[in-house]
Structure 1
């Protein structure tokens, strides 16, 4: 049974494509430990797309953030040091025809809700792209 207490994890990663696999495996373990295995497949897909975008389209470090609300909402997000907004997702039907540029289209299609926000802290700038599972939009 899923936990009713909220929790949050952050995994800071270097700008290295191999870090995407580390994030995916870490997320799988976190969800299993918190009895949220039923969300694993979709959560892994979403996290992979968000972290891949952070690593592929920026030059600095990144982070995977996972938060359970305690009331049934799982938020998955990727932080990166580039404050530029993400490219708007293409319509899903057009995005699946291409090898690149379909990440946010998959996120939009599979998540209940998604978004992004610019971040600034102690002179550092960046953005946070997130999505949620377990909520109706």
Structure 2
């Protein structure tokens, strides 16, 4: 597959904190196989925060979705069954001081863009919380 070809993967996971590790390792493998090893550490951190929030704060299943656009943007999203918007992220200065609630603050600090959107997937209402990393 040429490097500029878009791709899209979705990993469905149960509501289980062990799913965070499964998602991190799967994401590492996807990015490595697509020649994006330079993004792996940051992408793993962001995906772990997003998936962790999805399984900690909801009761249903979750999903990790990762895709790359022709323009070189890697989009990482975590879907969960709660349609309510996430709490606003803390600012960077608070990230180091807080013991909990840092996840979206880290996402905000490390990603080029982030956001959330309502979504009805897999027969359930819910939302995607997502972020973007630029590859080029």
TM-score normalised by L of structure 2: 0.94
Q: CA deviation at 1:120?
A: 2.5
Q: CA deviation at 1:100?
A: 0.7
The gaps in structure 1 that reach 5 residues or longer are: none
Name the count of aligned residue pairs. Answer: 134
TM-score normalised by L of structure 1: 0.93
**Deviating 4+ runs (over 2 angstroms):** 120-124
* 1:46 alignment counterpart: 46
For the aligned residues, what is the CA RMSD? 1.5
The gaps in structure 2 that reach 5 residues or longer are: none
Q: Counterparts in 2 of 1:1-137, with a 5 A limit?
A: 3-121=3-121, 124-134=124-134
Distance 1:53 1:124 in 2: 18
How big is each residue's C-alpha offset from its partner over 1:39-74, in whole Å with a ceiling of 9 and x where there is no partner? 101100100000000011111000000000022100
Q: CA deviation at 1:86?
A: 0.3
Distance 1:108 1:7 in 2: 24
How big is each residue's C-alpha offset from its partner over 1:5-31, in whole Å with a ceiling of 9 and x where there is no partner? 000000000000000000000000000
Q: Which moved more, 1:69-78 or 1:20-29?
A: 69-78
